[in-house]
Amino acid sequence: PLPADEAVRLSRAANDAAAAAVTRHPTRFRALSTLPMSAPGHAAEELARAAARGHVGTMVYGRSGDRLLDDPAYDDLFAAAAELGQPVFIHPQIPSDALRDASYRGFDQLTDLGLATFGWGWHLDAATAALRLILRGTFDRHPALQIVLGHWGEMLLFWLDRADSLSRIAGLQRSVSDYVRTNFHITVSGMLNPALLQHALSVTTVDRLIFSTDYPFQHPTGEQISRFLDNFETEEDRRKFSSANAAALFGIEV
Amino acid sequence: PLPADEAVRLSRAANDAAAAAVTRHPTRFRALSTLPMSAPGHAAEELARAAARGHVGTMVYGRSGDRLLDDPAYDDLFAAAAELGQPVFIHPQIPSDALRDASYRGFDQLTDLGLATFGWGWHLDAATAALRLILRGTFDRHPALQIVLGHWGEMLLFWLDRADSLSRIAGLQRSVSDYVRTNFHITVSGMLNPALLQHALSVTTVDRLIFSTDYPFQHPTGEQISRFLDNFETEEDRRKFSSANAAALFGIEV
């Protein structure tokens, strides 16, 4: 991770640049802020500064160096995000070297990398970060906090039967799946698979699902998107998924 | 893991004891063999010996000490399992200490343990072992090999859209999901959730799904089981799931 002072300086510069782009193209762009996660004491402050400049949320990784996202050092950040209504998008990240050594090596270099990232490891890592955030009691302390996960909620959405068994032993007020239903929004990152939609609708509601591509990696054609939208039962659900949920979550007038 | 000679000795004793129990109660029991996985050079031999005594398959972990199941040292074992028609059940295991340090610690002791095992980590570990086995080209070398995964295929069944992207870079003959459809059977381990059944049927066929409980941890009542069986479309599918698939896979006459 970046040295703290450099992280603060670069986050400000990135957020100012993004705010300027949004100002120039208000009908095309909105920005999620970049935070100095290696300087936890300054993250809430930069979140607030970027929010005041029009940023509609923030995007973080599940780990900064050795510090996991559920580290108590970030609790002020989550408090600020809840209070300011700034959703926190947890973006997948390459797993730590220790994790790669333990689980993702032993093939050729490219397969090792694919296994640790886009084919598998990224998603376990983001899902584990989200689950740890729940187990840490984050949503008991900050019930208004909203998290966004890409890729259909990473793997978390598919494993709630088991993850729910952790609710009580972690001393949570509610079940893991209950936090997922009330404190998480899910984007699809271009994975237009009706089976994943169907499963998502079995654990959360259509109000929580948000269309997204993953440009330039996943960019379905207009026809593929239209065909996928046919899987929604009503025009209203299609509208929620396509734009209304995102507009409501990020406070965007469309 | 056990010292090699002790592993060989104890595996033999365990398999002989299990064979004797099956002989005493042939209408109630069948056995999966225990193999000396810390003595890879002896694993195929013990598999064959147990198979000759009537064992219908074997059950292994995804790792023995530091040696992962896809280590080339086990390739003779998979060759023997394919040739003898002995399915290999990959059972979840507590993750390595390195993995626990990297991903599953920082809460109280019980939550750390639950996160690393039944609530989350077990399943990632078994799924990663299965995926690594595929990426290692195991099923290209041994196309007749059959793997069994519990818990609805651990997480692997839910992440094939992404895992498939690894097929080409790992130099496989077929796609990851194709191996899952043809070389894997899936048991449910008492997780009687219709949404999981529905998803499983979107990636594999009813011929590959096998009822199981997870006694004494998950033991649904007869009524819960009956209600779950109502989710199958035909009596034939119910019969396959309840008994015929297992009978065919393990070569059991019922």
DSSP string covering A30-70, please? --EEP--TTSHHHHHHHHHHHHHTT--EEEEESEETTEETT
The partner residues of B61 in beta bridges, in order of sequence, read B91
Q: Do B120 and A96 touch (CB under 8 A)?
A: no
Instruction: Look up residue A96 and give its two tokens.
Output: 């730590």
Indicate the residue of A70, A102, A166 with minimum beta-carbon distance to B102: A102
Mean pLDDT of all residues in A212-221:
88
pLDDT in tens, B208-244: 999 999 888 878 999 999 999 999 999 999 999 999 9
Q: B-chain residues within 8 Å CB-CB of A68?
A: 106
**Smallest Cα–Cα separation from B150: which of B233, B69, B62, B236?**
B62
Q: A-chain residues within 8 Å CB-CB of B136?
A: 107
CA distance B135 to B47: 24
Judged by a CB distance cut-off of 8 A, whether residue B128 touches chain A is: yes
Mutate to test the interface with A, among B149, B159, B214 (most CBs of A within 10 A): B159
Judged by a CB distance cut-off of 8 A, whether residue B132 touches chain A is: yes
pLDDT of residue B74: 98
Inter-CA distances, B171 with A115, A130, B72, B184, Å: 13, 33, 16, 20
CA distance A55 to A86: 8
pLDDT in tens, A39-76: 999 999 999 999 999 999 999 999 999 999 999 999 99
Mean pLDDT of all residues in A160-179:
97
How close, in Å, is residue B132 to chain A by CA atoms?
9
Q: Do A169 and B98 touch (CB under 8 A)?
A: no
Q: B-chain residues within 8 Å CB-CB of A193?
A: 161
pLDDT of residue A246: 98
Q: Is residue B15 part of a domain?
A: no
* CA dihedral sign of residues A147, A152, A156, A160: positive
pLDDT of residue B216: 87
Q: What does the H/E/C string look like for B117-143?
A: CCCCHHHHHHHHHHHHHHHCCHHHHCC
pLDDT in tens, A133-143: 999 999 999 99
Residue A51 CB contacts under 8 Å (≥ 6 apart), including other chains: A33, A84, A86
Mean pLDDT of all residues in A209-230:
93
Q: Is residue B34 part of a domain?
A: no
Q: Is residue B16 part of a domain?
A: no
Judged by a CB distance cut-off of 8 A, whether residue A137 touches chain B is: no
Indicate the residue of A107, A120, A170 with minimum beta-carbon distance to B163: A120
Q: Is residue B19 part of a domain?
A: no
CA distance B55 to B34: 10
Mutate to test the interface with A, among B99, B123, B156, B162 (most CBs of A within 10 A): B162
Count up the domains in chain B and report the number.
1
**Residue A71: closest C-alpha in chain B:** B106
pLDDT of residue B131: 98
Count of other CB atoms within 10 angstroms of residue B173: 11
Residues of A annotated as catalytic (active site), given as ranges: 214
CA distance B76 to B124: 26
Do B240 and B207 touch, CB atoms closer than 8 A?
Answer: yes
Judged by a CB distance cut-off of 8 A, whether residue A203 touches chain B is: yes
Mean pLDDT of all residues in A88-93:
97
Judged by a CB distance cut-off of 8 A, whether residue A198 touches chain B is: yes
Confidence check: pLDDT of A254 > 80: no
Within chain B, which residues score under 70 in pLDDT? none
Cα pseudo-dihedral B12, B17, B23, B27, rounded to 10: -110
Q: What is the ipTM of this complex?
A: 0.96
The mean pLDDT of chain A is 97
Q: A-chain residues within 8 Å CB-CB of B70?
A: 106
Indicate the residue of A71, A119, A124 with minimum beta-carbon distance to B124: A124
Judged by a CB distance cut-off of 8 A, whether residue A165 touches chain B is: yes
What is the DSSP secondary structure assignment for residue B194, as one 8-state letter? H
Q: A-chain residues within 8 Å CB-CB of B165?
A: 114, 118-119
At residue B173, what is the residue type?
A: Q
Mean pLDDT of all residues in A94-100:
96
Do A128 and A159 touch, CB atoms closer than 8 A?
Answer: no
Q: Is residue B48 part of a domain?
A: no
* CA dihedral sign of residues B126, B129, B135, B137: negative
CA distance A84 to B228: 45
> What is the distance of C-alpha A17 from the center of its chain?
22
What is the DSSP secondary structure assignment for residue B218, as one 8-state letter? B
In B86-105, the residues whose Cβ lies within 8 Å of chain A are 95-96, 98-99, 101-103
Task: Please give the residue range of the domain that contains residue B141.
Answer: 56-250
> What is the distance of C-alpha B130 from the center of its chain?
8
Cis amide bond preceding B194, omega within 30: no
Residue A93, φ and ψ in degrees, nearest 5 = -145, 155
Judged by a CB distance cut-off of 8 A, whether residue A218 touches chain B is: no
pLDDT of residue A71: 98
pLDDT of residue A218: 79
CA distance B127 to B1: 21
Do A191 and B161 touch, CB atoms closer than 8 A?
Answer: yes
Residue A148 CB contacts under 8 Å (≥ 6 apart), including other chains: A57, A87, A88, A89, A90, A184, A185, A186, A187, A210, A249
CATH code: domain of residue A40: 3.20.20.140
CA distance B93 to B124: 10
Confidence check: pLDDT of A217 > 90: no
How close, in Å, is residue B78 to chain A by CA atoms?
18
The size of the A-B interface in CB pairs under 8 A is: 124
**Smallest Cα–Cα separation from B10: which of B34, B28, B44?**
B34
Residue A26 CB contacts under 8 Å (≥ 6 apart), including other chains: none
**Smallest Cα–Cα separation from A67: which of A32, A93, A85, A101?**
A93
How close, in Å, is residue A195 to chain B by CA atoms?
6
- Percent of chain A's residues with pLDDT above 90: 96
pLDDT of residue B218: 79
**Residue B125: closest C-alpha in chain A:** A103
pLDDT in tens, B22-46: 999 999 999 999 999 999 999 999 9
